[in-house]
Amino acid sequence: MEDNTGYSILRNPRLNKGSAFTLEEREKYGLQGLLPEAVETIETQIVRIHEQLDNFSKPINQYVYLMQLLENNETLFFKTISNDPVKFLPLVYTPTVGEACQKFGQVSRRPRGLYLSIKDKDNLKKILKNWPEKDVRFTVVTDGGRILGLGDLGIFGLGIPIGKLVLYTSCGGVPPEYTLPIVLDVGTNNEEFLNDPLYPGLKCKRIRGKEFDDFVAAFVAAINEVFPKICIQWEDFPGVDAIKILNNYREKVCTFNDDIQGTAAIAIAGFISISRSMKKRFIDQRFLFLGAGAAAFGIADMLVKKFQRDGLTEDEALGQIWMFDVNGLLVNSRTDLAEHQLQFAHDLEPCTDFAEAILKIKPTAIVGVSTVGGAFNQQVIENMSAINERPIIFPYSNPTSHSECTAEQAYNWSKGKAVFASGSPFAPVEYEGKTFTPGQGNNVFIFPALGLAIFATEAKRVTDDILLTAAEAVAKQVCLTDFEKGLIYPNVADILRVSENVAVKVAEEIFNSGLASVERPESICDFIKSKMYVPEYK
């Protein structure tokens, strides 16, 4: 590290306190004259940040300001975010991070993360050692292939790992020095970037197939050698690659995919929460999915595990889950089903009308993972309302334009009966004098808490049981007063408290399953608390 005196301290985001340096510290480190006279508290600094931030009308400009704060004073940045997560999470992550990725070439300032090119496949260990921290525990990795609903953004997709790891710290208490954002540069199919002389990534079409698989294998081997306690979170890879990578490595290294498993866990948390609010047994729920891709199977597989945990056999669990794709209901007489779809196909006459399928199957919940905006039409909602006193409507597709229905449509068409949650945010809805607060299945309640538990226990693997435990723990954080407001997920304002409680339950599961690399403490609660990063000046 540089000489830790004077100007160099002010340039080091981990050491810098800005105007909060005491008079003694200013004399000791040679800071006199480099700062104004006043010695301020961190609370005063936060007031100034709010005032400065309010000068920017566009969220993207507020994002740039906050990222500059992160590069200047890490403690102050994380204290600011964690003090008001409701205000700041949409600015440092979704939805603003999507635009930040699109404009990454214009808005990025100092390097935050590593760019690993497929051309350097045989040199990855040496490159990883260029990172200044020698004990990295978490990396969020993308290849920029499918960023949110925005498509292929090449190496500009690095904005997603940066944002995600900010949430690990601000919402889960994972110390920031243990985190590393990475983008794998395998080219891009984005024509605009390929024709842009200022695009700084590989100027070639995406490299696929065996060459891509070999690069991913080399990366996994190298990062586990350089950082033996690493947990790899895969993010925003195209669907087929996402499933393949997860299946290839989930039994070999500590890894998970938030798009598949985090989404499934937060969906299950919502279903558990709804069952509690209805005073209904979870095993009495019956699900019909619109869409039969990676997201549907992620949720459905975890549903099977939840049903089994609650006492059903595997066959009984599968019988509670139905799927409907572009060719209609998944039924045994169809000859076009892929192998992984067969277990969710049942004996029934073929049906190609989703609204009609509802009347045949009588689900208590419909789950939209089709990315077809408006697919839950008025007939669909009315049919669900005809067979259920409280129909569960979950349009989970992102972004908002792809949502299978809006909150307003669900409440209006069901005459206020619907229990609604979505992947995209929707504003509260008034119906006949009553205000309904739509739930949003936000993975932020899952992965930061999961990360904190993995960090504390040094877990060797991330199993489905661990993720299901996280889902159950999130659901337990929703109280009766939340249900009265129509909420089925915890309040984002309580995210740190929720994450701590969820992490305790996840850590218990890790210890119970023999996957921890540290000794079990007397009090897991105290143990988790002791591992959490607190953004305070030292």
Q: Model confidence at 479, in pLDDT bands (50, 70, 90)? A: confident
Instruction: Measure Cα distances from 320 to 289, 307, 328, 340, 390 in Å.
Output: 11, 9, 18, 17, 18
* Cβ 157 vs Cβ 193: under 8 Å: no
| Nearest CA among 292, 282, 343, 342 for reference residue 468 | 282
Find where tokens 């999507």 sit. Answer: 98
Q: What is the largest CA-CA distance in the chain?
A: 82
Amino acid (one-letter) located at 153: L
Instruction: Provide the token pair at 251.
Output: 């039994």
CA 254 to chain centre: 17
114 three-class SS: strand
Q: Give the span between the Cα atoms of 404 and 381, in whole angstroms.
A: 11
- Residue 317 burial (10 A CB sphere; 0-12, 13-18, 19+): buried
pLDDT per residue as tens digits for the range 487-526: 899 988 999 999 999 999 999 999 999 999 999 999 999 9
> What is the pLDDT at residue 340?
82
What confidence score (pLDDT) does residue 338 get? 86
pLDDT tens-digit series, residues 148-157: 778 899 999 9
Q: Can you tell me the mean pLDDT for 407-435?
A: 93
Q: Is pLDDT above 60 for 204?
A: yes
CA distance 30 to 7: 8
Mean pLDDT of 470-496: 89
pLDDT category of residue 486 using cuts at 50, 70 and 90 = confident
Q: Is the peptide bond before 95 cis (omega within 30 degrees of 0)?
A: yes
Of the listed 29, 93, 168, 178, which one is catalytic?
93
ω into 85 cis (within 30 of 0)? no
**Beta-strand (E) ranges in 269-308?**
287-290
Predicted confidence band of residue 481 (pLDDT cuts 50, 70, 90): confident
Q: What percentage of the chain exceeds 70 in pLDDT?
A: 99
115 part of the active site: no
Please report, for the chain, the start and end positions of each structural domain, with discontinuous segments joined by +. 1-40, 91-253, 285-441, 444-531
pLDDT (0 to 100) of residue 351: 97
Classify 323 as helix, strand or coil. Answer: strand
Q: Is 93 a catalytic residue?
A: yes
DSSP element (H, E) containing 440: strand 439-440
Catalytic residue among 17, 164, 305, 306: 164
Q: What is the pTM assigned to this prediction?
A: 0.92
Residues 528 and 507 sit within 8 Å (Cβ to Cβ)? yes
CA 222 to chain centre: 25
Which of 87, 157, 150 has the alpha carbon at shortest distance from 399? 150
Question: What confidence tens digit (pLDDT) does each residue in 75-104 have?
Answer: 999 999 999 999 999 999 988 998 999 998
Q: CA-to-CA distance for 151 and 145, rounded, in angstroms? A: 6
pLDDT given at position 112? 85
Of residues 59, 218, 202, the one with CA closest to residue 144: 202
Total residue length of the chain? 538
> For 285-441, which CATH class?
alpha beta
Residue 207 has pLDDT above 50, yes or no: yes
Residue 421 phi, psi (nearest 5): -150, 150
Beta bridge partners of 430: 435
CATH number given to 1-40: 1.20.1370.30
The confidence band for 1, taking pLDDT boundaries of 50, 70 and 90, is very low
> For the segment 437-472, what is each residue's pLDDT rounded down to a tens digit?
898 888 999 999 999 999 999 999 999 999 999 999
Residue-by-residue DSSP string for 499-523: HHHHHHHHHHHHHHTT--SSPPPS-
Give per-residue pLDDT as tens, 221-277: 999 999 999 999 999 998 789 989 999 999 999 999 998 999 999 999 999 999 999
Q: Is 186 exposed, middle or buried (0-12, 13-18, 19+ CB in 10 A)?
A: buried
What CATH code would you report for 444-531? 3.40.50.10380
Q: What is the pLDDT of residue 3?
A: 59
Domains 1-40 and 444-531 share a fold: no
- What is 91-253's CATH topology? Rossmann fold (3.40.50)
